[in-house]
Structure 1
């Protein structure tokens, strides 16, 4: 009998019969790992795809480079050269938000009409480098009759050569085969071209896309007229020949459609308990001679937001009366017409509403000039003066507690502890002005009494001391305790100018005559900067370097400590604050001398590299230490001018970044906000160009007021060559939304 060895695992799994699966390891598989300090997911256990790694070039000496002006940027290459140091990073980290964008088209047959036999459909191809996925969208086209938008959702496209689509398969001028469609690639954006140039595979030149009969017809409608314009002579000839049955209303609609005269008016409302000047916009539609009046509600006016004051329709002239079934219809001349309105005119509409027209938009002014031959008057100023609200009188000082405590009860409903002026305390610590005084009209026993009045500049406190005198017969010493006191002659708190010799002061019903002052006080009044100490600038420089090195272990932390606006450079104000932080209260000329020593390039600001070069010592190279250059104590007025100019430029840059960031937050983050803004702008003008004031008014109407300077800064930032009086608001908002993530936030 022969025994046959059969491998049970090689037998197929027949229905109703299977072998038990035996496991040798029952642990839970590990799916995470750390590579180059990056947490990545290991996918070998779940799919056939392995984690994708790419080579990223290492920046040189990144710790020596600041963000401005010599910043380093990491560029990711497909294949790094032999002489470049690189590291492997996960694709989702290196290629985050790196997208290749191509444009192309494909043809689609049209069999439902005899006017065209094919349609050219333009598409955009997006290739995401982080996960090799793609998606194709088709831009929407007006009146195309085809559902457009996302054509193919985002996923990994199969390649005709097997596997998945790679960046090498996308070339300008080639045909892309995907799911039975042949897409001709015609162009790509600048980022895609730079990516392929760095990879050593430059893209070809852009190709012109084809056009179809539908597109040619749409373009012809924009530039060609169907027939010759109708004139009165042509209408007369047609009537004489027995024709000319023209619909005058339809002809007016075809000639003047979308043409609106806009007048800006105000109405003085005296029906309310408080006088109010209400702004309105009077719109006259030339297509059908209808009028619409909209009220422009100011922000936080307290009224319900129902802007339509008179709904669009024909407005009768004169007193308003109800039309019954037997009433005679009004003639066309009895209705209000836009040609009757003028700037500077007071008109009565709807029977008893008196409107004063103070301005008109640019189209209306141009229409009156070209069509009617009339020049409208300039804009009239109708703004009301600010209502002067009398300020309540400050109650007198009660004498209990300090002056700041009493004023806190006046300025706040719930009193708060007063805050000290630490800047003033730091700059004037230990500075005391002393004055010699005596009583005004003293009693016989008080004629020989002499007082010393001390005024402390650090907190504006006052103290009076009576020095001892031989055989005076009066106990001397402290006459008035140190504190903030009020001069009863002026009703204000004591100031240094109140204590000049020859003046009289009164405190707690004691009146003093100031006789003299000490030498230090006299120098302070003669020269306000006389209290500044004279320092040896070379010693100050060495002490500053030593103190900065001892404060933080890293120079980077020291630089960030004094770079208050985080722009990567130190301006003259920031450098002065750094000196004051270490107790050096120098004049601005001395500050500029030390700053010029740090600024090797002489551009008026200290960068991070220059700061490190002056703060750190040179390494030992040839056995001898290289010493730092000596400080030049000559004042350079040209360098001072450059330093202050750079400081002003940095301040303006900060304001521009803040303005664009705030406007981008409103436009990008709020759902449906752009639609509301466009609606408000359409109420002002039907053109695509507006002024910065109109943009500010539209944003204010939707609840987001901006300063006009911030609007102008945002316009010039995203559209440098634009005219502030003629801004294409569609392109402006598009540019702000698209560049929202490019604006760096405050670090």
Structure 2
């Protein structure tokens, strides 16, 4: 470069000369671009390339000189001017925090790698709190790299908050757009800035290595020349010699598991193993003979062969350190083949002889693996819940869809429409209950009981149905094994307890006596005699009255003929069995007479055809003085 000839001359009038060596007179650029952004830069040379003389002081020293005020000797010192406001884009211009991070990416379709580690650089721009993620380009990686996330403010959560430099540190995870980045380290400027702001940085971490990349760095696999073992000699020596073992696979610990039997064949000619399944009659399994085809069984695999695609390719000697041999099959010890543990409990005679000659095992024991059958579980019914009958509730324990309990159809057909009726009184300390009377109806077909209370005028108690048809449990029976009232429990003077209420039997109808005489085995002698004696007491006055009427009234023959005529005409009358009971309820003294008003009310309640001419004549013949009617002769006309 030619030096300036007029350099050093004094700048005086007449001594300034034009430098003839200058060829460029343009001004230097004060703007530039970096990463696509316009930035200002200070020029170092002037017009024509002449070097500029600029101040060597730093910006901090210049600011200090600008704000420094001289101290006066006399008078109060002047207040220092306030510091100028510096906007963030000026104060933090070109100040960027840099963090080293990585994220893990799954590789679903690959036989060599399951995931990969991708390194990134996270930049935080202090001037506008924006961030960007840049992935360094790796040559021949096959992955689009470079700008991973362009510069922008990144959301931290769903509430609208954004990441700030206070949220960044070493050794933490940050989530950006659903992808988690692990920050491991930062540069020196970032460390100094964060420490100056009072943030305690975590210790740096090592960058995680990509397993596939490290695998590529390993040397190529070395192949070993196979041995010169004579397989032909083994084939000729041990041809058609097979060791047979009997084994079980106990999988009862798992859900729906069971204990199954298998036969293991070991072929001495080529050291292959075959597992056959033992099928039993009606075992419910498909008749597949083989569980595992004949093949060599690896015992110990090479460490790198754990991810080997065994279902696609055959396993060679390079992937296996040790194979299963005959010495591994021992009676009485478990054996694990492809993750399934078999227990060998027996073998055939040829196998015993082979182990005796080859390995010196004279006696191989036979182990009994049969399991005793568990004792039958006694099915106990749960306690009675109180709803319905015990038989109905027990059906819920016998089937998923309960069915109605079976009924005794023969008993229902034989005893259809057979009802035993009793007159009872309520045993109660309440005075108002002393005169209450009830009619018990025992249905022989279903062993059910119903209670009816006849209405009494001006008694203050509403009569009618007192208890619907149901089975009544005896008071001293248990809930799980109830004992119901039967026909033998009803007799004169018997105490019947119905759901906490006690009744005393006072009277019965004639059908009860006939039923007891025809079925004496169901009743005790005392019960049978009590009914017979009570019936005799009721019938005792009747003959005397009839004889007296025959002696005093010459028209008794007319009465008998009229009763016979009414019986023939009204033989299908529906309420004829209840007429005698209705009159006996109101005839408490058993005199055989009721007043006329009560007589017609009873006939009206039972729908007795009193308007019939024959019935009117019968009422006239049965009428006595003092307004009373002899209902014994009247009932005879309507009895069977």
- Compute the TM-score of the two structures, normalised by the length of structure 2: 0.29
Higher share of residues assigned helix: 1
Please give the TM-score of this superposition, normalised by the length of structure 1.
Answer: 0.25
Find the structure with the greater CA-based Rg: 2
Q: Which has the higher contact order (CA 8 A, sep 6+)?
A: 1
